[in-house]
């Protein structure tokens, strides 16, 4: 997504302009030991503790509760430009949008609090794992 023509393609693909807005969205991501950010994000967990979907929010301080309920790793809050439909509570990541893109559900503070009550509230997406004990890099909310 480099210019307004790209944004126009997104809107034409997604439907009526009035249903969508451009704004920043936020996810919690692992930072590997060499300080590279990885696309290993915080996800909701199934009843068995398996990853289900990426936790995406519109206010980064909502990720603080996710951080409180997930195994500690070096992590950061990643922001990204998104096409957001507030009514449907979904967002498309404009960094990698294409015709096959799937929307991410937008999690509200209330939804995150309800998930935190589960046995397995949040897990990290499978992938390279960095330090588990005493993370040196903690997200800034």
Convert the pLDDT of each residue in 50-92 to its tens digit: 888 999 999 999 999 999 999 888 888 999 999 999 999 999 9
> Is 116 inside any structural domain?
yes
pLDDT at 41: 84
pTM: 0.80
Residue 40 within any structural domain of the chain? yes
Residue 129 covered by a domain: no
Residue 49: which domain range? 4-124
Q: Name the pLDDT band for 97 (thresholds 50, 70, 90).
A: confident
Q: What distance in Å separates the CA atoms of residue 131 and residue 32, rounded to the nearest whole number?
A: 8
What CA–CA distance (Å, rounded) separates 129 from 89? 30
Quote the number of domains for the chain.
Answer: 1
DSSP state of 65: H
Q: Would residue 60 count as lying in a domain?
A: yes
* 25, part of any domain: yes
What band does 16 get if pLDDT is binned at 50, 70 and 90? low
């Amino acid at each position: 997504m480099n210019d307004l023509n790209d944004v126009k393609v997104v809107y034409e693909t997604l439907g009526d302009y009035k249903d969508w807005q451009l704004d920043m969205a936020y996810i919690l991501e692992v930072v590997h030991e060499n300080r590279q950010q990885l696309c290993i994000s915080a996800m909701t967990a199934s009843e068995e503790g398996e990853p289900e979907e990426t936790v995406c929010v519109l206010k980064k301080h909502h990720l603080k509760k996710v951080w409180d309920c997930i195994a500690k790793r070096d992590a950061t809050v990643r922001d990204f430009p998104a096409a957001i439909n507030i009514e449907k509570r979904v967002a498309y990541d404009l960094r990698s949008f294409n015709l096959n893109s799937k929307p991410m559900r937008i999690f509200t503070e209330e939804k995150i609090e309800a998930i935190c009550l589960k046995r397995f509230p949040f897990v990290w997406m499978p992938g390279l794992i960095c330090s588990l004990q005493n993370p040196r890099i903690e997200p800034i909310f």
